[in-house]
Amino acid sequence: MGRKSDAKERLLEAALDLIWKRSYGVLTIDAICEKAGVKKGSFYYFFDSKSTLAAAALHESWYSCGKETWDKIFSASTAPLDRITDFMKTVYDGQIEVQKEHGQVLGCPCFSVGSETTSEDQAVSEKAREILGKQLRYFESAIRDAQAEGSSAPGDAAERAKCLFSLFEGSLAQARIHNDLTYLRNLPEAALGMLRVQQAEPVR
Amino acid sequence: MGRKSDAKERLLEAALDLIWKRSYGVLTIDAICEKAGVKKGSFYYFFDSKSTLAAAALHESWYSCGKETWDKIFSASTAPLDRITDFMKTVYDGQIEVQKEHGQVLGCPCFSVGSETTSEDQAVSEKAREILGKQLRYFESAIRDAQAEGSSAPGDAAERAKCLFSLFEGSLAQARIHNDLTYLRNLPEAALGMLRVQQAEPVR
DNA sequence: CTTGAAGTTGACTAAAAGGTAAACTATTAA
DNA sequence: TTAATAGTTTACCTTTTAGTCAACTTCAAG
């Protein structure tokens, strides 16, 4: 019953796009509305703040798109280390496309926004952390599987996943900062190097 | 001749502090002025925009503080790999203090701001890139020295430095996002692991 | 002790931003 | 066909922000 509309979806999409290309803090509700082709009255019909919208946009982006991609690449039917190298290559190829289309490497919105909104915007930073936490699990699980089959050195899988994830997100962010894809090109090898190897002894 | 003042320094300090704790995009000139205890008229006496001030603040922070620390840790009189592990430990200890003082791991302002202002604020993002580029050189040089004495596996030192730097900055950013120091605790070992080891073969 | 350079202040404007509400429109179930 | 529901629009208000300016203060050199 009632009128139907895709304004909500347009707002979510516009918000995600602007957050990704620009940043969260610099965004205004007016800008989002303009991009989405929606009047401010309608914005407040669907959301009660920029924060709510942004959190919803991150959520949507993961559950209606990102998750599926990760599930496919991290399929248990793929060899554990291949999951990881496939993933890195996919990200690299993806950012090549992004750069072609937007003239800029844009990196990972959750990571950028997560870092930007720490202790500044509860809803958004919590959502970013939630998604990053889920992504970390894929790494963790692949590492455990690799260890089980002996293709990765033993050691706390959760720790190692964090480390690999930091390398990955750090590289993506550098690629964004310098608009330079070379930060991503050898991620597959770097990831392998990190995993295949015996963990170093604690220093001192 | 004329009146003397430290308002400019107070503005630089306030700006850096707010950028670090909050973020660049969310900052207003009014907020900076309030924190610095300076009236807006004086702000515009010294700077002509938020962008100019922020770039100057990053510049100052590096040349009047950061550089010295890096020079000391990356001294050529220290064994190459020790420079790197010492550095990682220093960062870890530093962020412990930061968390104690501010209740939050704050990470690296250049990296956060660099990622936030890409293609959004020329002056600031350029300054962030400049400083990050200088920092990368310390890694690069230490890696080259380590290779020369045989304590690190051979391979393109610039590439390896980028990789290590990504791991480092990625870990710092994760620590900020999750307000969790465990992302930094084993950085010294992780860094060693990355360097000591033969680089993996290119995948496929 | 005056003059000019250096810095400060407060009051102001204009624009942008957040936010509200009432009237309006489209859809559909009864 | 009408009434309720879902969504849209416009006009409006308030607050915040960027940015300007002329009057004022402080300092030190001549």
Helices A7-21, A109-117: crossing angle, 10 deg rounding: 80
Q: Which of B173, B189, B198 sits opposite A170 (nearest CB)?
A: B173
CA B201 vs. chain centroid, Å, equals 31
Which A-chain residues 5-64 have CB contacts (< 8 A) with chain B?
22-26
B40 touches strand D (CB under 7 A): yes
Q: Which of these, B50, B36, B41, lies nearest to B6 by C-alpha position? A: B36
Is the CB of residue B27 less than 8 Å from the CB of residue B53?
no
- CA A121, C1' D10: Å apart? 31
Rounded Cα distance between A133 and A127, Å, is: 10
A21 touches strand D (CB under 7 A): no
Is B183 within 8 Å of A174 when comparing Cβ atoms? Answer: no
Rounded Cα distance between B11 and A167, Å, is: 35
Residues from chain B contacting residue A170 (CB–CB below 8 Å): 165-171, 173
Interface mutation vs chain B, best among A130, A174, A184, A185, most B CBs within 10 Å:
A174
Q: Which of A103, A168, A178 sits opposite B129 (nearest CB)?
A: A178
HEC sequence for chain B: CCCCCCHHHHHHHHHHHHHHHCCCCCCCHHHHHHHHCCCHHHHHHHCCCHHHHHHHHHHHHHHHHHHHHHHHHCCCCCCHHHHHHHHHHHHHHHHHHHHHHHCCCCCCHHHHHHHHHCCCCHHHHHHHHHHHHHHHHHHHHHHHHHHHCCCCCCCCHHHHHHHHHHHHHHHHHHHHHHCCCHHHHCHHHHHHHHHHCCCCCCCC
Residue B197 has pLDDT above 90, yes or no: no
- A95 touching chain B per CB within 8 A: no
Is the CB of residue B192 less than 8 Å from the CB of residue B87?
no
Q: Which two tokens stand for residue B42?
A: 């004086």
- A156 touching chain B per CB within 8 A: no
Is the CB of residue A32 less than 8 Å from the CB of residue A7?
no
**Per-residue pLDDT tens over the stretch B32-42:** 999 999 999 99
DSSP A7: H
CA A133 vs. chain centroid, Å, equals 10
φ, ψ at B23 (rounded to 5°): -165, 175
Rounded Cα distance between B87 and A33, Å, is: 46
* Nearest nt to the A10 alpha carbon by C1': D7
- CA A2, C1' D5: Å apart? 5
Average pLDDT on A171-178 reads 98
- B115 touching chain A per CB within 8 A: yes
Q: Which two tokens stand for residue A75?
A: 């399929």
Other Cβ atoms within 10 Å of B117 Cβ, number: 27
Confidence class for position A3, pLDDT limits 50, 70, 90: confident
Is the CB of residue A146 less than 8 Å from the CB of residue A135?
no
Q: Which of A119, A178, A190 sits opposite B104 (nearest CB)?
A: A119
pLDDT of residue A197: 55
Residues from chain A contacting residue B18 (CB–CB below 8 Å): none
pLDDT of residue B204: 45
Confidence class for position B148, pLDDT limits 50, 70, 90: very high
A4 touches strand C (CB under 7 A): yes
User: Which residue has its C-alpha nearest to nucleotide D6's C1'?
Assistant: A2
Q: Which two tokens stand for residue A78?
A: 């793929």
Give chain A's mean pLDDT: 95
* Nearest nt to the A45 alpha carbon by C1': D7
Q: Which of A85, A170, A190 sits opposite B169 (nearest CB)?
A: A170
**Per-residue pLDDT tens over the stretch B50-104:** 999 999 999 999 999 999 999 999 999 999 999 999 999 999 999 999 999 999 9
Q: Which of these, B30, B14, B187, lies nearest to B94 by C-alpha position? A: B187
CA count, 13 A, side-chain hemisphere, A27: 27
Rounded Cα distance between B26 and A41, Å, is: 24
Nucleotides of C under 7 A from a protein CB: 4-11, 16-22, 25-29
User: Could you tell me what percent of chain A has a pLDDT over 90?
Assistant: 93
> Counting every residue, how long is chain A?
204
Residue type, B32: I
pLDDT of residue B201: 47
Q: Which of residues 38-77 of B touch strand C (CB under 7 A)?
A: 38-42, 45-46
- CA A1, C1' C28: Å apart? 5
Average pLDDT on B17-37 reads 97
Is A162 within 8 Å of B169 when comparing Cβ atoms? Answer: no
Q: Which DSSP string do the residues of A90-125 spell out, in sequence order?
A: HHHHHHHHHHHHHSS----HHHHHHHHHTTT-HHHH
